[in-house]
Chains A and B, each alone.
Chain A
Amino acid sequence: EDQVTQSPEALRLQEGESSSLNCSYTVSGLRGLFWYRQDPGKGPEFLFTLYSAGEEKEKERLKATLTKKESFLHITAPKPEDSATYLCAVQASGTYKYIFGTGTRLKVLA
Chain B
Amino acid sequence: NAGVTQTPKFQVLKTGQSMTLQCAQDMNHNSMYWYRQDPGMGLRLIYYSASEGTTDKGEVPNGYNVSRLNKREFSLRLESAAPSQTSVYFCASSGTGTAVGSIYFGEGSWLTVV
List residues of chain A with CB under 8 Å of any chain B CB.
Answer: 31-32, 34, 36, 41-46, 49, 51, 87, 89, 91, 93-98, 100-103
List residues of chain B with CB under 8 Å of any chain A CB.
Answer: 4, 31, 33, 35, 40-45, 48, 50, 56, 58, 90, 94, 97-108
Count of A-B residue pairs with CB < 8 Å: 59
Q: Are A51 and B43 in contact (CB under 8 A)?
A: no
Instruction: Select the residue from A42, A44, A87 with max chain B CB neighbours within 10 A.
Output: A44
Report the bound CA distance from A43 to B23 in whole Å: 13
Q: Are B42 and A42 in contact (CB under 8 A)?
A: no
Q: Are B107 and A100 in contact (CB under 8 A)?
A: no
Which residues on the B side are within 8 Å of A31 (C-beta)? 98-100
Q: Are A96 and B108 in contact (CB under 8 A)?
A: no
